[in-house]
A and B are shown apart, each in its own frame.
Chain A
Amino acid sequence: MEHAEEEVLRIGVFICHCGINIGGVVNVPEVVKYAMTLPNVVYAEDNLYTCSSDGLSKIKEGIGKYNLNRVIVASCTPRTHEPLFRATCEEAGVNKYLFEMANIREHCSWAHMHEPDKATEKAKDIVRMAVAKVRLLKPQDEPEIEVTPSALVIGGGISGMTSALCLADQEFKVYLVEKEPELGGMLRHLYKLFPTMLNASEGLSKIVEGVKQNKNIEVWPSTVVKQVKGFIGNFDVSVQRENRETANFQVGTIIVATGADIFEPVGMYGYKKYDNVITQFKLEQLLKDNQLKKPERVVMIQCTGAREEKGRTYCSRICCMEALKNAMLVRELYPETDVYILFRDLQTYGREYEEWRRMAQDKGVKFVKYNLEKLPEVIAGHDGKLTIDVYHALLGEQVQIESDLVVLSTPLVQREDAKELSQTLKVPLGPDGFFFEAHVKLRPIDFATDGIYVCGTAHSPKDTAESVSQALGVASRASIPMAVKRLRTEAITAMVDESLCSGCGTCVKICPYGAIEKDEKGVARVTAVVCKGCGICGASCPEKAISMSHFTDEQVVAQALAALGRTVA
């Protein structure tokens, strides 16, 4: 669409009440009146819920009726509804980049709930700032790119393999990269899987066979990902096999399924000090290999190194069920052995998991609750026996339990090499160390970076069934761009004014995505499709030769001046 420079600006401002979220604090009608006084604003109205289909129709109506060519919605944070309003503008014939939002909820009414007058004044300022910017906006086009219909799955455990198979069955090519020499991940080391008590090896072998035989899956064992360049639909991945052979794949999407490690509780409860203090994982190995000698009394301590005050504050979700499962197995193997489980809160959340608690209770497993404030103590006694001294919180007394085998249930923790991978992919790790998704509730397996997804214990501790669900989930998410084959990319990118560029190369060095290169003329050139629009280059260019569309220096400064009450003519 051609846009004439001398276009007459006609700005429409739609101010939202958001029920009482905004309207209960900010005097919305007053702000509407004020908006009408701002330069180039030809229309202003208020709505109860602008995001409702009713509100959206009003926007379209307003655009049509008043011939608007710039639109402002003053409501909540752009992070929720910007795409929605942008799409609405497009439908009414206004380029989506001629739209701006004024955040008068999160940044105003919610933060100044007890000062309505000041909040109203601030809302007016925010609207004025939006008007200042929107007057300077130019329409943008979103380039379309092609999507390579193949996926990279990093991690060959149950999650990686499940998503690989699902995608492969839909005729997408999958590169399955696994660090170890064999596929299978954690499941190789597990004995029986709760709640069905299927042998992990049995379940695993079927899937591994399926993966190996699938013609659409290329398995790369003993391989790590070295570098990833590009963007959704066009990732350029470099891998290295056994520290020698390198290879390159072109993929459209990337799935992170790297799993997790088990925390080693060195220094806790006598671990590594006494031979008969082991982890739950070790117990699982002993049971699997039929190496467990008959203990007289087993004491399991839950939450070892988890749910702490600082550090590993999270709950590792599966340890309670692990303990129940292993307690049952021990009792089945040695019916005379006593089993005690020292717990804080029993996480028996799944559909059949409360049944498991009852089964354990039936089998005579004893449960002793302890609190974070008074941790149990493991004291060495004579002839290798240990005494566990614990304050039984529900009985209100100190209890001593003699034991010859103490089993510590420790949490899953993020792998050591995850930091590197997160940097390679430029995806974040959360405060608990696990990979951090785009939105905890509604986009739990997407990363904020388009085209990259995460599943399994790399995302957070979970069991086999949940890993499989998540793996199928990412398969669905990844299949979307690959199925539609073409995508529209971000229009907000850096632009170089070649006449001003001195070829100093600062921007080339500073770009985190490697989106800028010097061309044959020695002038900076931006690969728009790689550019993520962060703007770091714009702030570092000494000549002001590089700028961001939609966030030009002019536009940003206009907002600042407007904030201070000075409008640009």
Chain B
Amino acid sequence: MAYEPKIVAFLCNWCSYAGADLAGTSRICYPPNVRAIRVMCSGRVDPAFVITAFETGADGVLVTGCHPGDCHYVSGNLKAEKRMENVKKLLGLLGLKPERLRLEWISTSEGEKFAEVVADFTEQLRKMEPNPLRAEVNPRAPENTKDVISKAVKKTNVQYCLDCGKCSSSCPISKLNDAYSPRRTVEKILLGFENRVLSGTDFWTCLTCFTCTERCPSDVKFPEFVRACRRLASKEIMEELCAHRGIPMALSRIMTNPNIKQERMGWLPNGTEISPKNDLLYFVGCLPYFDVAFEDFNLNLLKIPQSVVKVLNKVGIKPAMLRNEKCCGHDLLWTGDLENFEKLAKMNVADFKKTGAARIVTACPECYRTLKKDYAERLDNFDFEVLHFSEFLSELVDKGQIEFEGKLERKVVYQDPCRLGRHMGVYEPPRKVIGSIPGVQMVEMDRNRENAVCCGVNAWLSCNKYSKEVQIDRLMEAKATGADLLVTACPKCQIHWKCVTSEKLPVNPEEVTMEMRDLSVLVAEAMHLT
């Protein structure tokens, strides 16, 4: 195995960089595999840098900072420590050895230590396989903009626009932000001003929540148009507008590499059983990764897949599951990265087939829509029946096969997720399920079902002050119903809402803080399975 590992190192200015300098001035030699990047503080090292480095093929990443207590910026290094812990967990989930990421404290005077660390790290890496990832950075083949747009226009009925303005006045963002108007965007496109649109933020502002589509008299599918055009729009602007520094998308892209063998089943509770082959397959989604990335929110997201499996077991099903389940590709598809989306899709479908499953159940509406609609439309050989967990549960309720224990005396209000509701038309099954739990009293928000309001963010884009306003408004609406429990069938909704309530709020926290629960977790609770 005579490969030379490539190491990317982030050295903090005050301590580690000086330490590396000292190694040089002292003529202490060390393997030349490291490439150093100076940052002011190890706390500056964004997990996204690390992941990008790995995505692009670094075999190892070294992050160095001042010793704890010595940080020039007081506690930047402690933050770095916490972050790199999380990145290691993510690497672990991806099946990339966490050891590829190393965090070291190196002070100004520790030139020797620097050299030792590098030598040791290089040796360690030599013994490991090279990083299977080697993302191509070549730009995509240029496409004929006018062609792509005119195809998208025809496919999504954009040319039938009546200029009525229902879209803009239904759009949760447009109502707050005068600069954004789906109608004007369409008008510009139809008049041939696409370059103005592509170089602006219009295409990245859309929440793709489908409220406009629901109400448009001409059946203009604006979000799908936006999606089709995003591949043409400015990547720079997208990157500016993408929350969480594009990490989720990077993770999805990494999963396209066939050499990635994830370790993502750690959440499976003891006593639960799955099978290598089964008529029913449970598709988890990216929850294991979100659990790490949003640790601070204390959402306990892994309870969702745990609840699902427990319920399935209880009704006699040992579901098939993919040990190397790839991201469904939703975020990539909706941000214009069709190539990687297709890679993920094909890999997933090949794996589905191996399980012999005919039905796929998922508890995430984005996975649900992507599998049921987008996979089916874009792949030739997709003939699986896809159900959202709420639909599956609803079937069980109909057949009388769910046994609830005791009563759950809660007043529940239900949020219709965009992907489950308006995108796919599933409104009643979750309600039927919630309503069937003894003791539960259901109340509705005024804006429900097809009029439900989006949780404010989509595909991690354009999370900004407008999103916050939308989220706060919606949470206040939920709270105002008098319910004490907000139930949703989408983990992303929970994440986005928790994000806004974790921050400093312009309103009294009382008005927006509500206990939240995923539908699957609620059901498992009511069945006394947790």
Contacts and interface: CB of A to CB of B under 8 A. Distances in A.
| A, B bound | yes
Interface of A: 358, 361-362, 364, 366-369, 392, 394-395, 399
Contact of A362 (B159, B187, B192): B159
Contact of B163 (A364, A366, A369): A369
A395 B159 contact: no
A364 B187 contact: no
Mostly helix, strand, loop or mixed at chain B's interface? helix
27 contacts: A358-B159, A358-B160, A358-B218, A361-B159, A361-B160, A361-B161, A362-B154, A362-B159, A362-B160, A364-B159, A366-B190, A366-B191, A366-B192, A367-B190, A368-B191, A369-B163, A392-B187, A392-B191, A394-B163, A394-B183, A394-B184, A394-B187, A395-B184, A395-B187, A395-B188, A395-B191, A399-B191
Contacts of A395: 184, 187-188, 191
B216 to A, nearest CB: 13
A392 B163 CA distance: 12
A368 B187 CA distance: 9
Contacts of A368: 191
A369 B184 CA distance: 13
Contacts of A369: 163
Nearest to A395: B187
Interface centre among A358, A369, A392, by most chain B C-beta atoms within 10 angstroms, is A358
9 nearest interchain CB pairs?
A361-B159, A394-B163, A395-B187, A358-B160, A361-B160, A394-B187, A362-B159, A366-B191, A366-B190
Interface string B119-163: 000000000000000000000000000000000001000011101
Contacts of B183: 394
A109 to B, nearest CB: 42
Interface string B159-200: 111010000000000000000000110011011100000000
A408 to B, nearest CB: 21
Contacts of A399: 191
Contacts of B163: 369, 394
Contacts of B191: 366, 368, 392, 395, 399
Nearest to A368: B191
Contacts of B192: 366
A364 B150 CA distance: 9
Contacts of B154: 362
A358 B219 CA distance: 12
B59 to A, nearest CB: 53
B160 to A, nearest CB: 5
A368 B191 CA distance: 9
Given A361-B159, A369-B163, A395-B187, 17 more contacts: A358-B160, A361-B160, A361-B161, A362-B154, A362-B160, A364-B159, A366-B190, A366-B192, A367-B190, A392-B187, A394-B163, A394-B184, A394-B187, A395-B184, A395-B188, A395-B191, A399-B191
A394 B188 CA distance: 10
Contacts of A364: 159
Contacts of A361: 159-161
Nearest to B193: A395
A298 to B, nearest CB: 15
Contacts of A362: 154, 159-160
Contacts of B159: 358, 361-362, 364
A266 to B, nearest CB: 31
Interface string B348-369: 0000000000000000000000
A362 B184 CA distance: 19
Contacts of B184: 394-395
Contacts of A394: 163, 183-184, 187
Contacts of B188: 395
A375 B184 CA distance: 21
Interface string B211-226: 0000000100000000
Nearest to B159: A361
A399 B190 CA distance: 13
B56 to A, nearest CB: 43
Nearest to A394: B163
B503 to A, nearest CB: 36
Nearest to B184: A395
Contacts of B161: 361
A362 B218 CA distance: 12
A394 B187 CA distance: 8
A367 B187 CA distance: 9
Nearest to A340: B191
Contacts of A367: 190
A367 B159 CA distance: 10
A80 to B, nearest CB: 40
A369 B183 CA distance: 14
Contacts of B218: 358
A395 B189 CA distance: 11
Nearest to B191: A366
B266 to A, nearest CB: 54
A358 B158 CA distance: 11
A395 B186 CA distance: 10
Contacts of A366: 190-192
A308 to B, nearest CB: 24
Contacts of A392: 187, 191
A363 to B, nearest CB: 9
Contacts of A358: 159-160, 218
Nearest to B161: A361
A364 B146 CA distance: 13
A368 B184 CA distance: 13
A368 B160 CA distance: 14
A364 B149 CA distance: 13
Interface centre among B160, B190, B191, B192, by most chain A C-beta atoms within 10 angstroms, is B191
A368 B163 CA distance: 10
B331 to A, nearest CB: 32
B42 to A, nearest CB: 50
A367 B186 CA distance: 12
A507 to B, nearest CB: 63
A90 to B, nearest CB: 55
B20 to A, nearest CB: 57
A35 to B, nearest CB: 57
A367 B218 CA distance: 15
Interface in B217-259: 218
Nearest to A401: B191
A130 to B, nearest CB: 54
B118 to A, nearest CB: 60
B220 to A, nearest CB: 11
A490 B187 CA distance: 63
Contacts of B190: 366-367
A157 to B, nearest CB: 35
A358 to B, nearest CB: 5
Interface in B87-118: none
B148 to A, nearest CB: 16
A364 B183 CA distance: 17
B66 to A, nearest CB: 56
A394 B190 CA distance: 12
A366 B184 CA distance: 14
A231 B191 CA distance: 60
A367 B163 CA distance: 10
A338 to B, nearest CB: 9
A358 B161 CA distance: 9
Nearest to A399: B191
A358 B160 CA distance: 6
Nearest to B158: A361
A250 to B, nearest CB: 56
A479 to B, nearest CB: 44
A368 B188 CA distance: 11
A366 B192 CA distance: 9
Interface in B391-449: none
Interface centre among B159, B161, B184, B192, by most chain A C-beta atoms within 10 angstroms, is B159
A361 B218 CA distance: 11
A343 to B, nearest CB: 11
A487 to B, nearest CB: 52
A369 B160 CA distance: 15
A361 B188 CA distance: 14
